[in-house]
Amino acid sequence: MSKENILEKTITLADLVGFKTARIVGLKGDDVSKRRLMALGIVRGKEIALDTQAPMGDPRVYSILGYRLTIRNDDASKIIVSYE
């Protein structure tokens, strides 16, 4: 696990570009939004990938746990992900 961490880069979900798959490593922000995100499957260790974006690039659609979720970029910037 620690070996992998060295090789992986950590960014926020909002900065994820292309259609790469990333892994969630943590959440920032207030309790309420965190709880909301967790209920929808945004928890550590889950894979998440960018799917589509709205006409003005915000919000964007991600796929997680085999379904699709829209998240505003402001909120996505509070989700920390890592990718290889």
Partner 1 sequence: METVSSNITIGLVGNPNSGKTTLLNKLCNSKDSVGNYPRVTVSAQERSFSHAGHSITITDLPGIYALTTLSPEESSSRDLIHSEKVDLLVNVLDAGNLERSLYLTSQLIEMGRPIIFVLNMIDEARRKHLKIDTQALSDMLGGPVIEMNSIAGEGLEKLKDAIVEQGAVKREVSQTFIKYDQHLADAVVRVQEKIAQLHPKEMTEQQTRWLAIKLLEGDEVLLRQEKDHDHLLEMVRRERYDLARDHDGECEMLFADARYGFVHGMVCEAVEFPDDIESRFDITRKLDRIFLNKVIGIPLFIGLLWTMFQTTFTVGEYPMNWIDSGVTVVSAFLDDLIPAGMVHDLVIEGIVAGVGGTIIFLPNIVILFFFMAIFSETGYLTRAAFLMDRLMHTFGLHGKALIPLVMGFGCNVPAVMATRTIESDRSRLITILINPFMLCAARLPVFILFAGAFFSEMAGTMVFIMYMLSIIIAMAASVFLNKLLPKGAEEAFVMELPPYRLPTLRAVLVHMWDKALNFLQKIAGVILVGSVVIWFLQAFPQHTVYSTDFDAQIEQLQSSPASSDSEAAIAELKRKKAQEHLSESYLGRIARTIAPVFAPLDFTWRDTVAILTGFVAKEVVVASYAVIYSQDEESTEESTSLRAVLAGTMSPLVAFAFMLFALLYSPCLATIAAIRREAGGWRWAGFSVAFSLVLAWGLAFTVVSVGSLFI
CA distance 44 to 69: 16
For residue 62, the minimal CB distance to partner 1 (Å) is 9
Q: How far is the CB of 53 from partner 1 (least distance, A)?
A: 8
20 vs 36, which CB is nearer to partner 1?
36
Phi/psi at 75 (5° precision): -80, -35
CB burial of residue 23 (10 Å; 0-12, 13-18, 19+): middle
Q: Between the CA of residue 54 and those of 18, 60, 61, 62, what are the distances in Å? A: 15, 6, 8, 12
- Residue 18 found at the interface with partner 1 (CB under 8 A): no
27 to 66: interface string for partner 1, x by CB under 8 A: x-xxxxxxxxxxxxx-xxxx-----x-xxx-xx-x-x-xx
Question: By the criterion CB under 8 A, which residues form the site for partner 1?
Answer: 26-27, 29-41, 43-46, 52, 54-56, 58-59, 61, 63, 65-72, 74-75
